[in-house]
Amino acid sequence: MLSFLVAKGFNDMGSRHQAQTMTRVAAACAKDAEHAGLIALTDGLKSLIAYWAGRYGDAYHYAGQGVEMAAHLQGTVGVWLMGLQARAAAALGDSEPARAANMQADDRRKRVVPDDLDSLGGLFTYPVEKQLYYSVACEALLGNGSAETVALADWAVEGFSDPTAASWAFGDLAGAQCDLALVWLFSGDLDGATAAMRPVLDLPLSHRNNGIVVSAQRVRAALAEGSVNGAVVAPDLTAEIEAFPGHPAGVASGDRVSTHAPRPLFQRPSGTTRTHGRRRRWSVRDLREQRGHRTPLLRASQP
């Protein structure tokens, strides 16, 4: 478990080589312990490291490997691995497998029985708030700016609004805010995107980890190629994101942070306006039942 946490910390700092080394140590320890949950967890960590390095094919492979390992487990690690698989598929531009994996994750959530890893909390469990965050991340990667996606992205941010909650993490909050900015951009609403990015851009340097930097640069890339980049405020927002550190403090020499933003598959609708109203917290299941159909929800501490 210690080597898992150290590996995760290295990845947050953008030190991928060290993260990969410690992940191999964690995987070896898990195998020695013959603990299926820990083995699956390390597969998920391999997927996460590959994802933030822009190696989406590897991320998909490791997540799928973990899904197989976790097939007979009852805890949330299996749900997390499906979310990782969905997110990697979305980054590759494969919408159907991404949405299918998230529907499977939603179904599996209903059968979860917390296990020994879930009892530890933190990085060893996968709360519903994070599942929704991953779902929205997939839609953002696919370039979806529908009104429903904007609402889901808003709820994902709200899910991390309470810093005293057990599921809260500043990295997840910032990631959700970047995703909200992306879906606002894809809907044609630059003001919404600017407002969503404000808390991220105001983060102190010490909090700008690898995942947050990459997520922010994806917003910049979307601004550069989107239909709203001619608006008056766009150059200001673009310049501010460009001034965001190219790597977080502590990145080891030789490591580079990937800022690759996959090209969205969907046409970005224009003229979408935000609906106002009082918001509430939802579970992933609630969001589907509220609409009366199985709308696929797509799915990061650092993401």
Please tell me the predicted confidence (pLDDT) of residue 175.
96
Q: Does the pLDDT of residue 294 top 70, yes or no? A: no
Q: Does the pLDDT of residue 62 top 80, yes or no? A: yes
Q: Does the pLDDT of residue 274 top 50, yes or no? A: no
Please tell me the predicted confidence (pLDDT) of residue 300.
36
How many other C-beta atoms are found inside a 10 Å radius of the C-beta of residue 145? Answer: 25
In angstroms, the Cα distances linking 228 to 194, 195, 231, 239 are 12, 15, 6, 15
DSSP-assigned letters across all residues of the chain: -HHHHHHHHHHHTT-HHHHHHHHHHHHHHHHHHT-HHHHHHHHHHHHHHHHHTT-HHHHHHHHHHHHHHTTT--STHHHHHHHHHHHHHHHTT-HHHHHHHHHHHHHHHTT----HHHHH-GGG---HHHHHHHHHHHHHHTT---HHHHHHHHHHHHTT--TTSTT--HHHHHHHHHHHHHHHHHHT-HHHHHHHHHHHHTS-GGG--HHHHHHHHHHHHHHHHSTTTTSTTHHHHHHHHHTS-SS-TTPPTT-------PPPSS----S--PPP-------HHHHHHHHTS-PPPP-----
Q: Does the pLDDT of residue 286 top 70, yes or no? A: no
Q: Does the pLDDT of residue 296 top 80, yes or no? A: no
Task: Work out the average pLDDT over 124-136.
Answer: 97
Q: Does the pLDDT of residue 23 top 80, yes or no? A: yes
pLDDT tens digits, 115-129: 999 999 999 999 999
Q: Does the pLDDT of residue 154 top 80, yes or no? A: yes
Please tell me the predicted confidence (pLDDT) of residue 224.
85
φ, ψ for residue 231, nearest 5 deg:
-65, 155
Please tell me the predicted confidence (pLDDT) of residue 244.
84
pLDDT tens digits, 27-56: 999 999 999 999 999 999 999 999 999 999
Please tell me the predicted confidence (pLDDT) of residue 254.
40
Percentage, residues of the chain above pLDDT 90:
70
pLDDT tens digits, 77-109: 999 999 999 999 999 999 999 999 999 999 999
**Cα dihedral 247, 56, 196, 281 sign:** negative
pLDDT tens digits, 217-267: 999 999 987 656 455 557 788 889 988 875 544 444 344 444 444 443 333
Q: Does the pLDDT of residue 189 top 60, yes or no? A: yes
Please tell me the predicted confidence (pLDDT) of residue 219.
94
- Mean pLDDT across the chain: 83
Q: 288 or 239, which is more confident? A: 239
